[in-house]
Structure 1
Amino acid sequence: MISFNYETDFKLENTDKVSNWISETILEENHKEGEINYIFCSDDYLHKLNVDFLDHDTLTDIISFDYSVGKELHGDIYISVDRVKENAKDFNIEFEDEIARVIIHGVLHYCGYKDKSDVDEILMRSKEDHHLARRS
């Protein structure tokens, strides 16, 4: 089950459609959907999590806590709406496209994709692009 939670004024539109898209992505990546919580928040909220839990004193657009068991995906995905807005502006793309990229990025991490090395990042971007192209 995919749920959307808010620690900010932002509200995701078309949550059923987004949820179905995430579910289809999980199946296509040969995983099983468990409990996945998306939490949309502010820079300050996510920064505090980054400092408190990861000991990183930086701003970020997403932090995911993975509680998956084998191929069954479970976890909490925190997304800073402030960061996504700023990144969309910096990359000169629509906010809706950037929020979708970050949403699918989180679940792709649960599917085992990494982005710390150049090679891993190229594969992650390729997977993001593939699944973004499938979204209707």
Structure 2
Amino acid sequence: MPDFDTARLEEWIVAVAASHNRIVGPLTYIFCDDPKIIEVNRQFLNHDYFTDIITFDYSRGRMISGDMFISLDTVESNSVLVGATYTRELLRVIIHGVLHLCGINDKGPGEREIMESFENKALKKLDEI
């Protein structure tokens, strides 16, 4: 795990949520490896593949809340594929989960591009904090 400034990350997450008219409730990040993420994916989603994040949404109204499993193994391999640093890719995945909790999807036609746009805006916001 990178040595994050957690106060800065919390401020960032709150700011990103606010930009989507949301307030932040309890968020739990579970950092794990590929064997754990595929176990969770199979058990809860009936998916048989690796992924970087699985988000369980417990949000109510404007308050976002959820559990997010992040595979550090997949984050690392994806960082190489996209030419990003490991830390930057991990930050992208962290905010990706928050954006899901804010109601942004990425599975339907054109949704992936919308999600990427919001991820990029959020990462720029972090650079300003």
User: Which TM-score bucket, shorter chain as reference?
Assistant: over 0.9
Q: What displacement does 1:11 show?
A: 5.5
Q: Which has the higher contact order (CA 8 A, sep 6+)?
A: 2
2:54 is the alignment partner of 1:63: yes
Query: 2: CA distance between counterparts of 1:102 and 1:23?
Result: 16
Answer yes or no: is the 8 Å Cα contact 2:64–2:101 preserved in 1: yes
Query: 2: CA distance between counterparts of 1:16 and 1:118?
Result: 36
Counterpart residue number, 2:29: 38
Name the stretch that deviates more: 83-92 or 10-19. Answer: 10-19
Query: 1: CA distance between counterparts of 2:3 and 2:69?
Result: 13
Q: Which runs of 5+ in 1 are unaligned?
A: 1-9
Query: 2: CA distance between counterparts of 1:52 and 1:116?
Result: 20
1:67-124 deviation per Cα after TM superposition (whole angstroms, max 9, x unaligned): 1011111110110000000000111110111001101110000111100123111111
**One-letter code aligned to 2:58:** Y
Counterpart residue number, 1:91: 82
Structure 1 length-normalised TM: 0.89
Matches within 5 A, 1:1-136: 10=1, 12-136=3-127
**One-letter code aligned to 1:75:** G
SS, match of residue 74 in structure 2? helix
CA 1:117–1:51 in structure 2 vs 1: closer, same or farther (change >3 Å)?
same
Query: 2: CA distance between counterparts of 1:118 and 1:98?
Result: 23
| Cα RMSD (Å) | 1.1
Query: 2: CA distance between counterparts of 1:107 and 1:124?
Result: 11
SS, match of residue 110 in structure 2? helix
Structure 2 length-normalised TM: 0.94
Aligned residues: 127
Structure 1 segments, 4+ long, off by >2 Å, are none
